Amino acid sequence: MRLFLQLVTVAVVALAGGLVVSAVQWNTPLTLVLGLGSAALAVFAYRWIVRRTEDRVPAEITKNNAALGRGLVIGFGLFACVIGNIALVGGYDVLGWGSVGGALALFGFSAAAAVTEELLFRGILFRFVERWTGTWLALTLTGLLFGLSHLFNAHATFWGAVAIAVEAGGMLAAAYAATRTLWLPIGLHFAWNFAEGGIFGTGVSGTDAPDGLLHAVTSGPAALTGGEFGPEASLYSVVAGVVATAVFMVLARRRGHIVPLRGRTAATATVVA
């Protein structure tokens, strides 16, 4: 029941925010303000419902500027590596300057998407599934759900959903497992998306959006560029996500943050007894 109440509460805020942001059709000031407002409201709703249903202060969303900053640096750095590799094989070309207004609108849009998705998939789903099944299975299951949720996007493909599940669903869950704060995956998620659309001017998960700071085009094999879905469907993104996931999970193991399978825990307890 707690899982259901938390999902419904945050999902209602996310859905309402998404509808309002979509309704203004990329109007720069409205998209920026409404996107940031939706993100803030989602955080408030998450804190409120967790306190009501779990009778605790949600430490995972307590203000943590250091974690947010690290997430921003990691997210931007990873995507810069991806787009740099695509450019090296001739798949990315900058045609000129794009739109500052478009970049600002994408800033608000990216903030709303990153915050609401992290609260839903890592803050709620991953936490509960991990409690029931352990870290590794929770990472796998919620990663798959995260990928499948992107099948509803414009220009979505099955491969794009698989790529998102592997590179983002796994990486962001691992980032939370390693740090036990939602601010690092929020920062990582936001910086990746904003760099993708708001700075480098490429598609974001198949979403139709205005130009960012750069007006650019991708060309060549979809396996390398991601095609119409955007660079997230590129093999370079998958490799970057897998490497980052591995690093985060090594950190999680060293810090003792890995929750074992419930069955394994019970079997161990029986042997010890």
Task: Supply the pLDDT for residue 206.
Answer: 74
Please write the tens of the pLDDT for every residue from 113-136: 999 999 999 999 999 999 999 999
Count other Cβ atoms within 10 Å, centred on residue 164: 29
Split at pLDDT 50, 70, 90, the class of 267 is: very low
pLDDT surpasses 90 at 204 = no
- In order of 117, 134, 190, 242, the CA distances from 12 in angstroms are 12, 28, 21, 32
Task: Supply the pLDDT for residue 264.
Answer: 53
Mean per-residue pLDDT, 206-211: 82
pTM listed for this prediction: 0.94
35 sits in which H/E element: helix 28-54
The dihedrals phi and psi of 153, each to the nearest 5 degrees, come to -75, 160
Top pLDDT among 1 and 254 is at 254
Split at pLDDT 50, 70, 90, the class of 154 is: confident
Please write the tens of the pLDDT for every residue from 85-106: 999 999 999 999 999 999 999 9
Angstrom distance (rounded) from CA 202 to CA 217: 7
209 close to 154: Cβ distance less than 8 angstroms: no
Please write the tens of the pLDDT for every residue from 34-59: 999 999 999 999 999 999 999 999 99
